[in-house]
Amino acid sequence: MPDSITITDNRTGQSLEIPIRNGGVSSAEWQKILPGIWFHDPGLTTTAMTESAISYLDGDAGILRYRGYPIEQLAEESTYLEVAYLLLKGELPNEEQYKQWVSDITHHTFIHENVRKRFLEGFHYDAHPMGMLVSAIAALSTFYLDAKEIYNPAAREKQIVRLIAKMPTLAAAAHRFSVGMPFVYPDNELPFAANFLSMMWKVAEPHYSANPALVKAIDVLFILHADHEQNCSTTAMRTAGSAHADPYSSAAAAAASLYGPRHGGANEAVVRMLTEIGSMENVGDYVKSVKAGHGRLQGFGHRVYKNYDPRARIIKRVAYEVFEVTGKNPLLDIALKLEEVALNDDYFVSRRLYPNVDFYSGIIYQAMGFPVDMFPVLFAIPRMSGWLAHWSELLDQDSKIVRPRQVYSGAPERKYVPIDQR
């Protein structure tokens, strides 16, 4: 059997055989026979917008790999900065490369004083930290004039290092401002995740040393959130990047998309839902009301995973490690009960709705003391490396500017009527 499909235009009887390559068919072939007829694909659910060699995802089997490495192995053995290097450069670093990479990132953690003093401190006192982060990422482009040199390899590498390094500093600065605490400068003696926790929580101590179990947990959560192929924010990054916007402006577009509750805000929704449920006894009634069409089970279901999200499995394990230090978040028992009820209920089973990455991450963040407003920010910090890997890959591809078509459903041509005659 040939690995191809044949399409026939029934208006003309004309047929065309299109080869299937790497699980896809080229729309350029389709255009040969059907010019002016577009695929109507809202949400791009069946459109591969690009070829990519960064993440592999099999939603039916519940598999996620970065550059071929299973997410489980990376979460177990690697560090976030090593994973960021892998995503960006395609290979794991050797010792020397890793040392240099960590040193480069560490020496770019500071932000320009004007970003903090004049820009971030200009926000309203109760500004949402994610709104501050989105704006601050965009504002950085005005500080680095070489940001526009996207085809200069040295300048491109510089912006990549700056963006990855400055994310925790901006994130912590946004939090500190929103709770009225003074800004904490990066401590370059500390590794990436420990430095972030120091900038978040330091009060008057000369050196803040976070509990190593919590540092490890944050680092694993960063690994799990680093990339996820063509998700909504990565698509936003690629779309802005396809117009050759600088990486700060493109990343701000990506972060804005991550701000949405359907994407980076779902873990916040999970915590709100579990709080609303209140106790294990109410789980059954809550599930019944979801089945009756009153809202959705937050942290359940995924556009691509039709199986247990492999990241959720790892996060569930991390939750227990965190609770050893922080004490158990009382929402955990409700979450476990909810998962058990849903996974044994035909409504969820038949629709293949399983816990996703957000189901347990929120209760970990809450146990660690992060306010819910910070949850999407915690997602954005590591996702920056994935966004940049896709942005860089896009620039190295023979990419076109993203410019989809539409199926027009508006009024036909009509004549303008002056206002006094309407």
Does residue 390 have an active-site annotation?
no
What is the smallest separation between the CB atom of 193 and ligand CMC, expressed in angstroms? 21
Q: How far apart are CA 134 and CA 264, in angstroms?
A: 13
Q: How far apart are the first and last CA of the chain?
A: 63
Query: Which residue from 214, 218, 251, 266 is in contact with ligand CMC, where contact means CB under 6 A?
Result: 266
* 331-370 residues near ligand CMC, rule: CB under 6 A: 351, 353, 356-358
Smaller CB distance to ligand CMC: residue 246 or 339?
Answer: 339
- Binding range to ligand CMC, per CB under 6 A, among 1-9, 25-33, 161-169, 258-266: 258-266
Catalytic hit among 175, 358, 373, 390: 358
Q: How far apart are CA 65 and CA 110, in angstroms?
A: 32
Smaller CB distance to ligand CMC: residue 144 or 375?
Answer: 375
* 152-181 residues near ligand CMC, rule: CB under 6 A: none
Nearest to 242 by CA among 229, 253, 226, 231: 253
Query: Which residue from 201, 259, 300, 365 is in contact with ligand CMC, where contact means CB under 6 A?
Result: 300
Tokens of 361: 């991450």
Q: How far apart are CA 200 and CA 176, in angstroms?
A: 7
Dihedral sign computed on CA atoms, order 170, 176, 180, 184:
negative
Tokens of 398: 């023979």
Q: How many residues bind ligand CMC (CB under 6 A)?
A: 19
Contact 258, 234 (CB under 8 A): no
Query: Which residue from 297, 334, 368, 394 is in contact with ligand CMC, where contact means CB under 6 A?
Result: 297
DSSP H or E stretch at residue 171: helix 153-178
DSSP alpha helices (H): ranges in 208-330?
A: 212-225, 232-242, 247-258, 266-277, 283-291, 310-326
236 forms part of the interface with ligand CMC (CB under 6 A): no
Angle at 342 between CA 336 and CA 346, to 5 degrees: 160
- Binding range to ligand CMC, per CB under 6 A, among 85-93, 183-191, 261-269, 414-422: 261-269
* 66-125 residues near ligand CMC, rule: CB under 6 A: none
| Single-letter amino acid code for the residue at 319 | A
Contact 208, 182 (CB under 8 A): no
What is the smallest separation between the CB atom of 356 and ligand CMC, expressed in angstroms? 4
Tokens of 113: 């004083």
> In sequence order, what are the residues at sequence separation of 6 or more whose Cβ sits closer than 8 angstroms to the Cβ of residue 192?
79, 80, 81, 102, 105, 106, 168, 219, 222
373 forms part of the interface with ligand CMC (CB under 6 A): no
Smaller CB distance to ligand CMC: residue 344 or 421?
Answer: 344
303 forms part of the interface with ligand CMC (CB under 6 A): yes
237 forms part of the interface with ligand CMC (CB under 6 A): no
Does residue 294 have an active-site annotation?
no
HSE-up (13 A, CA, CB side) for residue 261:
9
* 183-222 residues near ligand CMC, rule: CB under 6 A: none
Catalytic hit among 108, 225, 302, 390: 302
224 forms part of the interface with ligand CMC (CB under 6 A): no
Matching residue, tokens 């003391």: 369
Does residue 9 have an active-site annotation?
no
What is the smallest separation between the CB atom of 357 and ligand CMC, expressed in angstroms? 5
What is the smallest separation between the CB atom of 9 and ligand CMC, expressed in angstroms? 30
What is the smallest separation between the CB atom of 254 and ligand CMC, expressed in angstroms? 12
Smaller CB distance to ligand CMC: residue 115 or 236?
Answer: 236
301 forms part of the interface with ligand CMC (CB under 6 A): yes
Angle at 146 between CA 141 and CA 148, to 5 degrees: 65
What is the smallest separation between the CB atom of 401 and ligand CMC, expressed in angstroms? 25
Q: How far apart are CA 290 and CA 297, in angstroms?
A: 7
263 forms part of the interface with ligand CMC (CB under 6 A): yes
302 forms part of the interface with ligand CMC (CB under 6 A): yes
Catalytic hit among 112, 128, 244, 263: 263
Q: How far apart are CA 7 and CA 17, in angstroms?
A: 7
299 forms part of the interface with ligand CMC (CB under 6 A): yes
296 forms part of the interface with ligand CMC (CB under 6 A): yes
- If one counts every other C-beta atom within 10 angstroms of the C-beta of residue 119, the result is 20
Conformation bin of residue 414: beta by default, left when phi > 0, alpha when psi is -120 to 50? beta
290 forms part of the interface with ligand CMC (CB under 6 A): yes
Query: Which residue from 78, 141, 231, 385 is in contact with ligand CMC, where contact means CB under 6 A?
Result: 231
Secondary structure of residue 9 in the 3-state scheme? strand
The contact set with ligand CMC (CB under 6 A) reads 228, 231, 262-263, 266, 290, 296-303, 351, 353, 356-358
Enumerate the active-site residues: 263, 302, 358
